[in-house]
Amino acid sequence: MEFLNIVLNTIKNINVFDLLDISIVAYALYKAYMLIKETRAEQLLKGILFILVLIPISYLLNLTMVYTILKNTLTIGVLTIVILFQPEIRKALEHLGRSAFSDIHNKYYNSYVKNDFIVEICKGIANMSSKNVGALIVIERNTKLADIVESGTKLNSKISSEVIETIFFPNSPLHDGAIIIREGLIEAAGCFLPLSYQNIDKSLGTRHRAALGISEISDAAVIVVSEESGIISLVVNGKMTRNYDFEKLNSLLSRMFVYNNLKSASFKGRVKGWIRKKIRIKHNS
């Protein structure tokens, strides 16, 4: 009865700010769970919750030794979690950073590369798919990939289907790595990508695991051509979709990378345009 009275009094004293506080915490916990879902960290979370349940139970039952062991295990476990699950923590923080600032970035600094580079990529991909030539292409978006670029050979080359096919030609020096495309240019080739820990179909090879890996720590669009089947896959934000052809891939990528002139896309350019418009209106009036 006393416990029930405490609960009822607590409910009566709840205000709007308390509800807001609860909602923010609940949303944060939900997003955190979605980030670790189907990863190694999910199993760890279940173990931690189990320990948290056992600690008060052992205390109420006067199981002194069990209580002491569990309490110390939880204290030491926090440091262990940080060390063992550094990749998952990094992934969560990077995802949070992209979610918080990507809309602002897109509003004032939209991609200013022309869509014709997408057509060249899709032509090269379609040609390699028909010949079962394996390929891995990473198109940079908001998250910068300077550390990945450094792992390969810098090219700073104009994009064409011929150049892409030459890079991935079997037994060529750079065919095993990934191409990094930045602002409409082939920034580097032969780059090494981090591998994903996801459970994927056994028929998929290292290229697909690498594509998932880089998409989990960045917002890049990654295109993969299977060397065994010639199937074209697109990977974004840790999710893979397959069985693309030229038209389908070109249509989707063209929507992702919209051409905007750098001047008009920048905040400074927008301000200048607004001033000119005001001057014209004043002059005409």
* Predicted confidence pLDDT, tens digits, the chain (285 residues): 565 677 677 777 777 777 888 888 888 777 777 766 655 566 667 777 777 788 888 888 888 888 888 777 777 766 766 666 666 566 666 666 555 444 444 443 334 344 578 999 999 999 999 999 999 999 998 888 888 999 999 998 899 999 999 999 988 888 889 999 988 899 999 999 999 888 888 888 899 999 999 998 888 999 999 999 999 999 998 889 999 999 999 999 888 876 433 333 444 455 555 555 555 555 555
| CATH number of domain containing 139 | 3.40.1700.10
Phi-psi region of 144 (alpha: psi -120 to 50; beta: other; left: phi over 0): beta
Please check whether residue 280 lies inside any domain of the structure.
no
Radius of gyration, alpha carbons of the chain: 26
Residue that the structure tokens 């990977």 belong to: 235
Asked whether residue 149 falls in the same domain as residue 43, the answer is no
251 and 120 fall within a common domain: yes
Q: So what's the pLDDT on residue 173? A: 87
Domain identity same for 43 and 152? no
71 and 124 in a single domain? The answer is no
| Residue type present at position 22 | I
Asked if residue 158 is part of any domain, the answer here is: yes
Mark whether 121 and 247 lie in a shared domain.
Answer: yes
Q: Residue 66's domain spans which residues?
A: 2-106
Residue 269 lies in a domain: no
184 with 250, same domain: the answer is: yes
pLDDT at site 40: 56
**What pLDDT is attached to residue 85?**
63
Do 221 and 181 share a structural domain? yes
- In the chain the beta strands, taken as DSSP E runs, fall at 135-139, 153-158, 178-182, 185-191, 221-225, 232-236, 239-244
Q: What CA–CA distance (Å, rounded) separates 3 from 26? A: 24
Query: Based on the structure, what is the number of domains in the chain?
Result: 2
3-class secondary structure, 266: coil
Q: In terms of domains, do 23 and 71 share one?
A: yes
Residues 8 and 39 in one domain: yes
The end-to-end CA distance of the chain, in Å, is 78
Is 120 within the bounds of a domain?
A: yes
Closest Cα to residue 219, out of 143, 137, 118?
A: 143
Q: Which of 42, 77, 106 represents a domain boundary (last residue)?
A: 106
* Prediction pTM value: 0.59
CA distance 146 to 223: 19
* Residue 96 and residue 153 in one domain: no
Do 195 and 129 lie in one domain? The reply is: yes
Residue 271 lies in a domain: no
Report the C-alpha gap between 260 and 237 in whole angstroms: 24
Q: Which of 99, 103, 81 is nearest to 36 (CA)?
A: 81
Q: Is 138 helix (H, G, I), strand (E, B) or coil?
A: strand
70 burial level (CB within 10 Å; 0-12, 13-18, 19+): buried
Largest CA distance in the chain: 87
Same domain membership, residue 195 and residue 75 = no
Contact 211, 136 (CB under 8 A): yes
